[in-house]
Structure 1
Amino acid sequence: MERVVQFTGPRQVEVAPCERAGLPPGHLRVRTRYSGISAGTELTAYRGTNPYLTRTWDPASRLFQEGSPGIEYPVAGWGYSEVGEVLEVSPELAGTEGLPAVGDLVWGIWGHRSEGVVPAERMAGHTLPAQLEPLAGAFARVGAIAQNAVLAADLHVGEDVAVFGQGVIGLLATRLARLSGARVTAVDALDARLAKAVEYGAHHTLNARTDAVAETVRELTEGRGADVAIEISGAYPALHEALRSVAVAGRVVASGFYQGDGAGLRLGDEFHHNRAQLVCSQIGGVPPQLAGRWTVERLQRTFLRLVAEGEVDVASLVSHVVPVAEAADAYVLLDERPADALQIVLEF
């Protein structure tokens, strides 16, 4: 009997048994080793704030429609950061060049479940590099999210960037911005995360609760303000402070998953008077100006290459490896005591 992690209601988690799925043509069967929990997107479903729980996304009009939810509880198998071993390949695919073979370690997206049945085209090129520890594969997607935000920032050598939010994705954005040649000011409300940001290359750190962030950013930049701010916490007050922190015509990359109404965001203030640019970064696509060269697949592979080459450390971001049977406790920890955790990984 297989197992899957599911939300049965707001803040209710169970590890449920499920039948083993068949293997259709064109698919691979993967036995999960590790599955990383997203402290952003997943917690919106865990807490009951995700917009899909109350509205339906219409892909044709690209609008949310009121009236019926797009997903309902139980929400089973969320998760987008999995690593596992290929157990079975659909017979007609055996020996196909570029596809993983039985026994290979692979990374991809099949959710918090003990076994994934995944379309083969989604796994092409997803064999884990031999020099990487299996846990590193759980960072392919979160690393791509961070890199996508840095690409949207359009950074140049010597520019100043403020990165708001120093959770896992924010820390990775801090590191990637530093690799891009920017001077980074890291902003967070937790001192432990700010200390980690220094390890990841931040030149300056500011505590959002105790420091005058926008004013200090201007002091650090000869009065101009940051060339770019990347907001990755998903908190509206942080987005507002990011808009306050950039220079005239500066850019703010909103990469968080914001929930509900925009309390704390006042667009008639600095955003209006400083003519700030506000752009969205979302992992469903790359910045439009880069679409001829970059894809989401390239983001993921590039990030893992940077890890393999020693440019980005992901091992020290793993604060907890939790047996899947204790998944409910892991979500409580992320929800109620975020200062005590960074990346939590479920072990199957």
Structure 2
Amino acid sequence: MTARRVSFRAPEEVRVEEVTVPKPDPDELLVETECSGISPGTELLLYRGEAPDDLPADETIPSLSGGLDYPISYGYAAVGRVIETGDAVEGDWLGERVFAFHPHASHFRAAPGELQRVPHGIPAAAATLLPNVEAAINVAMDAGPLVGERVAVLGQGVLGLLTTAVLADHPLEALYTVDRHSLRRERSRDLGADESIAPDADLRGALSDTHRKGADLAIELSGNPAALDGAIDATGYAGRVLVGSWYGDKPATLDLGGRFHRSRIAIESTQVSTIEPELRGRWDKDRRLALAWDRLADLDADAVLTHRLPVEEAADAYRLLADHPDEAIGAVLTYA
């Protein structure tokens, strides 16, 4: 049998390669993929050639243990069914629908511990959002907004929209979002934002009154280093700025003069590979993933996943996400 695998060969050069279907080792399973989700953050950095090639892809995921240099197979949101089990595998796995943090491929092998069983009732395409929902939960946990705070989320791509949906359940005084594209602002309101505005609007003014000038918390998720200045500018005295974007090798030049110098604004990073140290006594990755599955069960995935394309059109999918963010938010590759 022949399998298909997506490969980044060079900037803006994506190929679908034919390879032999792997044979599982005695302690492994063979999964036939139904669909895989494209991460429009990290994967577009790879597509554009903006990811640093001197970093490991992800040291916490066995299938992504290599570097970020070309050629590379990447991706971490594959959903499929187990079609073969190794002789030493225990448990009833055959025919199970599973999720794996694995690159885009029609078939792959994995140990049982590397797979998540997809809960009944969650469609395969929606299940590809698991890593993004987990990341959104991690952002909210790191942000730790207090009752009655005013929060701004800059960037309403996949992660931004999902973070908005999580934060909408918090008892905030105001939740404002920022994005340059009208479709994303519309979806942001649908997912719970009190208001979503364009980058040229007065965000700080919108979050100000006689009691407070500016946001208590601003979360930067746009992937655009220039937006970090906007997050700082919108934040009030002693507020916090949380940076969830990964800019790759794009430099961030900040204006830390003027009001920032006297405002005691804290700037901190958040990233899903680790859990905030103060929470590690109560939270681990398994508990966070279980919560992410619960959130997924209630999520309108179509608000985030705007496109589905066959894997043979993977190059078109990346081009669409890169060149037409006004109409494409999230994309799924299918393997039927």
Fold conserved (TM > 0.5)?
yes
Per-residue CA deviations over 1:221-252 (Å, capped at 9, x if unaligned) read: 84432111111112112111111212222111
Per-residue deviation, 1:307: 2.5
Q: Which moved more, 1:175-184 or 1:318-327?
A: 175-184
Q: Is the 8 A contact 2:183 2:327 kept in 1?
A: no
| Deviation (angstroms), 1:269 | 4.1
Q: Separation in 2 of the partners of 1:105 and 1:269?
A: 55
Tell me how far apart the structure 2 counterparts of residues 58 and 15 of structure 1 sit (CA, whole Å): 20
Among candidates 77, 80, 91, match of residue 87 of structure 2: 91
Preserved CA contact (<8 Å) 2:76 2:103: yes
Cα pair 2:204 2:215 within 8 Å, conserved: no
Match of 1:105 in 2: 97
Q: Does 2:164 match 1:174?
A: yes
Structure 2: stretches of 5+ with no match in the other structure: 60-65
Q: Is the 8 A contact 1:144 1:296 kept in 2?
A: no
The answer to whether 1:272 aligns with 2:269 is no
Query: 2:242 is aligned with what amino acid?
Result: V
Q: Which residue of 2 aligns with 1:217?
A: 207
1:298 to 264, 283, 287: 287
CA contact 1:214–1:241 (8 Å) conserved in 2: no
Q: What pairs up with 1:1-348 in 2 under 5 angstroms?
A: 1-51=2-52, 53=53, 55-56=54-55, 70-76=67-73, 78-95=74-91, 101-123=93-115, 126-182=116-172, 183-208=174-199, 210-219=200-209, 222-308=211-297, 310=298, 312-348=299-335
Kept in 1, the 8 Å contact 2:310–2:333? The answer is yes
Residue identity matched to 2:225: Y
Q: Distance in 1 between matches of 2:104 and 2:3?
A: 11
The aligned amino acid for 1:7 is F
1:179 shift after superposition:
0.9
Which consecutive residues of structure 1, in runs of 5 or more, have no partner in the other structure? 61-68
CA RMSD, 1 decimal? 2.1
Q: Return the TM-score normalized by structure 1.
A: 0.88
State the match for 1:63 in structure 2.
none
SS in 1 for 2:313: helix
Q: Is the 8 A contact 2:130 2:296 kept in 1?
A: no
Conserved in 2, the CA contact under 8 Å of 1:321 and 1:346? yes
Query: Could you say if the C-alpha distance between residues 118 and 269 of structure 1 is closer, same or farther in structure 2, counting changes exceeding 3 Å?
Result: farther
SS at match of 2:117: coil
Deviation, 1:189, is 0.9
Work out the CA distance in 2 between the residues paired with 1:323 and 1:80. Answer: 17
For residues 270 and 114 of structure 1, the distance between their equivalents in structure 2, rounded to whole angstroms, comes to 53
1:6/1:115 CA distance change after superposition, 3 Å: same
- In the TM superposition, structure 1's runs of 4+ consecutive aligned residues that sit over 6 Å from their partners are none
Question: Does the residue aligned with 2:286 lie in a helix, a strand or coil?
Answer: helix
Check conservation: 1:321, 1:347, Cα contact below 8 A: yes
Q: Partner amino acid for 1:74?
A: P
The alignment's TM-score, normalised by the length of structure 2, stands at 0.91
Equivalence for 1:64: none
Q: Which amino acid aligns with 2:98?
A: V
Relative distance call for 1:179 and 1:324 in structure 2 (3 A) is same
The 1:303–1:270 alpha-carbon spacing in structure 2 relative to 1, beyond 3 Å, is farther
Identity %: 33
Tell me if structure 2 keeps the 8 A contact 1:110–1:118.
Answer: no
Note if contact 2:152-2:219 (Cα within 8 Å) is conserved in structure 1. yes
Count of aligned residue pairs for this structure pair:
327
Change (3 A) 1:284 1:102: same
The whole-number CA distance in structure 1 between the counterparts of 2:250 and 2:128 is 32
Secondary structure, counterpart of 1:253 in structure 2: strand
Give me the whole-angstrom Cα distance separating, in 1, the residues matched to 2:176 and 2:120.
Answer: 35
Q: Is the 8 A contact 2:50 2:250 kept in 1?
A: no
Give CA deviations for 1:139-162 in whole Å, capped at 9, x if unaligned: 110111111111110112221110
Following TM superposition, by how much is the alpha carbon of 1:109 offset from its aligned partner in structure 2, in angstroms?
Answer: 1.1
CA drift of 1:204 comes to 1.7
Cα distance change on mapping 1:114 and 1:270 into 2, 3 Å: farther
Deviation at 1:343, TM superposition (A): 1.1
Q: Deviations over 1:39-89 (max 9, x none)?
A: 1100111111101x2x245999xxxxxxxx94332112x111111101122
